[in-house]
Structure 1
Amino acid sequence: MTTSGISRRGALRMFGIGALGVAGAGALGACAPSGAGTSSNGGDTKSKNFDFTSWSLNEEAAKPSIEKIIAAWEKDKGSKVRAVSYPYNEYLSQLTLKLGGGGTTGAVHLDIAWLAAVAQMGKLADLSSVALKGGYTNVALDSGMYDGKQYGLPWNTGSIGVIANSKLLEKAGIKKHPTTIEEFEDSLRELKGLGGGVVPYAAATKVAQLKDIFPWMQTFGCTLLEDSKVTIGDDASIDAVTWYKKLHDEKLIAADVDRFDARALFGQGKAAFYDDAIIGKGVTAAQSKDKTLADAMQPMKRPVLRSGDTPQALLWGGVIAIVKGKGQDAATEFALHTTSDRATTTEYFASRALPPSTTAGLADPKVAQDTFTTEWTEKITDTATGSPFWQFAQNAQIEEAVAKQVQAVLVGKSKPKDAMKKAAEEVTDLIRR
């Protein structure tokens, strides 16, 4: 990822950390004592105790696995790790506010889409030399880099794609995954005919997750951003949103659905398709009363507009970054262990179905022999790309601006052409700040 002339002050302003926050950060640096074991903010870098902040600690399915890693580390190192969490949809804003005010230390779990914005705050340690010890794959390493530096150690690297429920497909007489938009629509109508409250495609329709529209825009031919110019508002993006509205009006997708709602519907056997990361299998199957659901979950290539087109998917993953200051050294060691120790990553995979980001971890039989993971990599991650908007500190605002316009179309408050024109204007304004 690369920056586009966005200053640190601009990144702080984006998150509501104004002049006082910037001045406060500078004051902390000015008051910091010099000498070994300290950093610019006065924190003891040699402290064995540190914080670990992660949204996954707020999720029922993920929390036990991470707490187990933390407990093992504390026992082995004789240290104390304070676990901190915020809900995913609030995580970035909460984290950046705390980080800007000096209230966050230690290790922090970051979505790869947030790395650029957080790195621009100037609070993260450069882990370039540490990363060389992990045995990470090149793709994984790239996910933790910003502006030529390694700010994150890759914990997992994958993609967001479509998951299908083979039980419902079979019940509807659908013998193979649809490969084109036309075939996909036909399949959705067949599934709707099952009745019983089935939502054929549990697509995102709430603002919080409506960034899922981007791969569909790309499917219809919109590049989103090209030569620093926003291309949302072109015919392809309008066609994509018009199509999404058609699915909504025909009740082939449902209103007010986010990722968590989609997982719940899928877990109840009420949805045949939904978008998720590879983590979806583990999370959704664990929440479902149907203990055979995991066997019915299949990775599916996103349908294309025309045969021969490249299926679209969004790169997805998480890294662990380190905040400069208190506990920095121990937190770095913890991050390296958590993301690269083979026994730890294999056990984490067994409990959460998240593939390791190291060559050795991926080669472990427990990982390599998992059909779902292998198929996901081949069908979805293979053609996945990062968002062109990740390079901007305003990425979250960009996604929200587009999402609100798409939702306005879905609820009948705006026409696709008008909404995409407005979205383009808002996004253009955001990236020029």
Structure 2
Amino acid sequence: MNRRDALRMLGLSTLGATALAACTPDASGGGAPKGDTAAKTFGFTSWSLNEEAQKGAVQAIVDAYATAKQVKVDTASFPYNEYLNQVTLKLRGGQVSGAIQLDISWLGALAAMGKLRDLSPQAAKGGYTEVARSSGQFDGKQLGLPWTTGSIGLIANTDLLKKAGVDGLPSTIEEFEAALEKVGKLGGGVVPYAAATKAAQLKDILPWMQTFGSPLLNGEEIAVGDDASVATVEWYKKLYDAKLIAPDVDRFDARALFAQGKAAFYDDAIIARGVVSSQAPDKTLTEKMAPLARPVLKAGDTPRALLWGHVIVVVDGEGGDAAADFASFATSDTATVAGFFEKVKLPPTTTAGLADPKVAGDTFTTDWTEKITKTATPNPFWRYAGYAQIESTIAEQVQAVLVGQSSAKEALAKAAETAKGLQK
């Protein structure tokens, strides 16, 4: 998997000013739906139809539905890195209708345009897990049906931990630090925790801030800079100074270190197994990979993780009824979602789908779902079109602390002040 593929699968892209402008609220978006909502022809827009690894599996779902329901589905696709910009511009101009695949981090941006159908009736009968259903909710409405739901979480190399004398997987911050210190004594270029330390990926510190007790956002008030987030950054700095985490590491560096057997822990999405497998000289490494719940501040706390995944939304207009039914079929029909998992290894979003033998027999997926995704939550900043800029502002200030240019308190106060101007 190359850098672009990894960005696509993780839902990480750099959106320029044009894309962000296209995501701003559209005052003209309200009113009655345009076109015949009962029409038997509808559109389906998806970046997966533009990707070699998934387009066959996605097209099979489209064809199966069209045949079974005797409808026509007009498909369209754009490359992932251009997708949000293209979709928002076409939606604003009334040039796209029907069902649309979305990264969950983009839902707020499209919802602000006021053109998406409330899919609560479909969600109520879909059998989705609670966390999956929540990924498609915005401002009290069910605007998306979850297609695949995962999370960004911690992965351990159990072989390295065993060599370091670490008994079991750590469940608290105290146990985690103790494990890092033991791994640090192995030497040989091993990085105990290949945590993000480059600004481009330092948003990984946000679930750690939540772990320490920061809500990140209180209503509309930026909470970064509170005592809990300051304590988090000071802890991160302590790990950095003790060489338990390394300088200048992003997701791709971390994957490379882990694949080479040079990192005991790192953060990634559920796609990590496939990525590491393709890079690792040791072809048994994937058998030594273990997903673990993020260590908590004190026993009994709920582990924190960042929600990750895709939803299908529906434009309230031409063919909207059939498009909503298609979105339900693609995301909740058990045979369909289990077959899709078998082909592309993206976890289903329904209880029945997760229980299907094709999925339940995959230990890594079931462990990840139970230990990490079960308590994952959306990034609270996703409600803003400028969420990526807010994350970057925080990341840059955290990096300033790591390299000794600022104290945690001063840096986060500055980040919070800048972020206030990006809440649009």
Q: Classify the TM-score, shorter chain.
A: 0.7 to 0.9
1:301 paired residue among 293, 296, 302? 293
Q: Deviations over 1:143-192 (max 9, x none)?
A: 21223332211112333221111122122222221233233223223323
Alpha-carbon RMSD: 3.6
- The answer on whether the counterparts of 2:101 and 2:311 sit within 8 Å (CA) in structure 1 is yes
1:400 paired residue among 378, 392, 396? 392
Q: Deviations over 1:300-355 (max 9, x none)?
A: 12222334433322333321123456775665454333212322311332344433
Identify if the C-alpha distance between structure 1 residues 133 and 384 changes in structure 2 by more than 3 Å, giving closer, same or farther. Answer: closer
- The answer on whether the counterparts of 1:117 and 1:394 sit within 8 Å (CA) in structure 2 is no
State the Cα distance separating 1:240 from its structure 2 match.
Answer: 1.1
Counterpart secondary structure, 1:209: helix
- The within-5 A match list for 1:124-143 is 124-132=116-124, 134-143=126-135
Identify if the C-alpha distance between structure 1 residues 353 and 71 changes in structure 2 by more than 3 Å, giving closer, same or farther. Answer: closer
CA distance in 2, matches of 1:53, 1:332: 19
2:354 paired residue among 337, 357, 362? 362
State the Cα distance separating 1:273 from its structure 2 match.
Answer: 0.9
Q: Which residue number corresponds to residue 311 of structure 1?
A: 303
Structure 1 unpaired stretches of 5+: 1-11, 39-44
- The within-5 A match list for 1:227-376 is 228-324=220-316, 331-376=323-368
Structure 2 unpaired stretches of 5+: 1-16
- Does 2:73 match 1:68? no
CA distance in 1, matches of 2:401, 2:111: 35
Tell me the amino acid that sits aligned with residue 221 of structure 1. Answer: G
Q: Which residue number corresponds to residue 108 of structure 2?
A: 116
Identify if the C-alpha distance between structure 1 residues 37 and 184 changes in structure 2 by more than 3 Å, giving closer, same or farther. Answer: closer
Identify if the C-alpha distance between structure 1 residues 242 and 137 changes in structure 2 by more than 3 Å, giving closer, same or farther. Answer: closer
- Does 2:86 match 1:86? no
Q: Which residue number corresponds to residue 20 of structure 2?
A: 15
Q: Which residue number corresponds to residue 52 of structure 1?
A: 46
State the Cα distance separating 1:401 from its structure 2 match.
Answer: 1.9
Q: Deviations over 1:39-74 (max 9, x none)?
A: xxxxxx6545643235x955xxxx423432214534
Identify if the C-alpha distance between structure 1 residues 404 and 195 changes in structure 2 by more than 3 Å, giving closer, same or farther. Answer: same
CA distance in 2, matches of 1:100, 1:259: 34
Tell me the amino acid that sits aligned with residue 146 of structure 2. Answer: P
- The answer on whether the counterparts of 2:151 and 2:309 sit within 8 Å (CA) in structure 1 is yes
TM-score (norm 2): 0.80
State the Cα distance separating 1:94 from its structure 2 match.
Answer: 5.9
CA distance in 1, matches of 2:61, 2:421: 48
Identify if the C-alpha distance between structure 1 residues 97 and 285 changes in structure 2 by more than 3 Å, giving closer, same or farther. Answer: farther
CA distance in 1, matches of 2:86, 2:227: 37
Counterpart secondary structure, 2:422: helix
CA distance in 2, matches of 1:178, 1:249: 21
- The answer on whether the counterparts of 1:282 and 1:351 sit within 8 Å (CA) in structure 2 is no
Identify if the C-alpha distance between structure 1 residues 71 and 350 changes in structure 2 by more than 3 Å, giving closer, same or farther. Answer: closer
Tell me the amino acid that sits aligned with residue 335 of structure 2. Answer: A
TM-score (norm 1): 0.79
Identify if the C-alpha distance between structure 1 residues 57 and 267 changes in structure 2 by more than 3 Å, giving closer, same or farther. Answer: farther
Q: Which residue number corresponds to residue 176 of structure 1?
A: 168
Structure 1 stretches of 4+ with a deviation exceeding 6 A read: none
2:378 paired residue among 386, 397, 411? 386
Tell me the amino acid that sits aligned with residue 45 of structure 2. Answer: D
CA distance in 2, matches of 1:98, 1:290: 47
Identify if the C-alpha distance between structure 1 residues 150 and 226 changes in structure 2 by more than 3 Å, giving closer, same or farther. Answer: closer
- The answer on whether the counterparts of 1:281 and 1:353 sit within 8 Å (CA) in structure 2 is no
Tell me the amino acid that sits aligned with residue 67 of structure 1. Answer: G
Counterpart secondary structure, 1:238: helix
- The answer on whether the counterparts of 1:348 and 1:354 sit within 8 Å (CA) in structure 2 is yes
CA distance in 2, matches of 1:112, 1:255: 30
Identify if the C-alpha distance between structure 1 residues 35 and 81 changes in structure 2 by more than 3 Å, giving closer, same or farther. Answer: closer
Tell me the amino acid that sits aligned with residue 172 of structure 1. Answer: A
Identify if the C-alpha distance between structure 1 residues 310 and 256 changes in structure 2 by more than 3 Å, giving closer, same or farther. Answer: same
Counterpart secondary structure, 1:337: helix
State the Cα distance separating 1:83 from its structure 2 match.
Answer: 3.0
Q: Which residue number corresponds to residue 139 of structure 2?
A: 147
Counterpart secondary structure, 1:309: coil
